């Protein structure tokens, strides 16, 4: 089953007709605390790796990836791949309603009590990652990780084959 069927409210940039349904789809995408936090981080940083989001929000990689995929399918963020790693950034939104509400969202999120601590978590993580501390070495995209070979599972020749 495709994502469009699972998430019929996606592709905000494609819904530029100004219908009530379009507005409802947009707000459904925003109706999640984790996605709001991710948007807040991206409002304040040009581009973030999935590991940056997981560390700042203290969530699993699978949860971060799932929510970032939802935001991407909604047309709110774009991603780029660099090797095995995905980096996300905000995407300019074509729909005037969505654009105005995202501007308002950015301003109002800044006033929330947890906005500052979220950014502090992210900055502490980014500093650790850039310094290559022990904690950051676990992150696949940490400085220098791209130069290390990615281990692959190997099995003896012929193992697992039916005869």
Read off the pLDDT band of 105 (50, 70, 90).
Answer: very high
- If one counts the domains in the chain, the total is 1
Task: Give me the chain's average pLDDT, please.
Answer: 80
**The whole model's pTM is what?**
0.75
Residue 161 lies in a domain: no
28-38 pLDDT per residue, tens? 999 999 999 99
CATH code for the domain in which residue 106 is found: 1.10.10.10
Residue 157 lies in a domain: no
Residue 137 lies in a domain: yes
Q: How far is CA 149 from CA 40, 68, 104, 112, 115, in A?
A: 34, 26, 44, 42, 37
131-157 pLDDT per residue, tens? 887 666 666 565 444 333 333 343 344
């Amino acid at each position: 089953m495709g994502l469009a069927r699972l998430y019929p409210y996606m592709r905000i940039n494609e819904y530029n007709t100004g219908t009530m349904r379009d507005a409802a789809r947009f707000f459904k995408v925003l109706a999640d605390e984790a996605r709001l936090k991710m948007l807040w981080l991206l409002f304040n940083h040009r581009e973030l790796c999935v590991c940056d989001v997981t560390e700042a929000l203290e969530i699993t990689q699978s949860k971060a990836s799932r929510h970032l995929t939802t935001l991407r399918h909604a047309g709110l963020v774009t991603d780029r791949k660099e090797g095995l790693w995905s980096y996300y950034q905000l995407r300019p939104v074509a729909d005037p309603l969505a654009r105005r509400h995202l501007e308002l969202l950015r301003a109002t999120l800044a006033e929330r009590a947890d906005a500052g601590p979220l950014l502090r978590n992210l900055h502490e993580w980014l500093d650790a990652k850039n310094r290559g501390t022990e904690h950051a070495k676990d992150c696949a995209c940490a400085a220098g990780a791209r130069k290390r070979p990615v281990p692959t599972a190997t099995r003896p020749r012929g193992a697992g084959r039916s005869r």
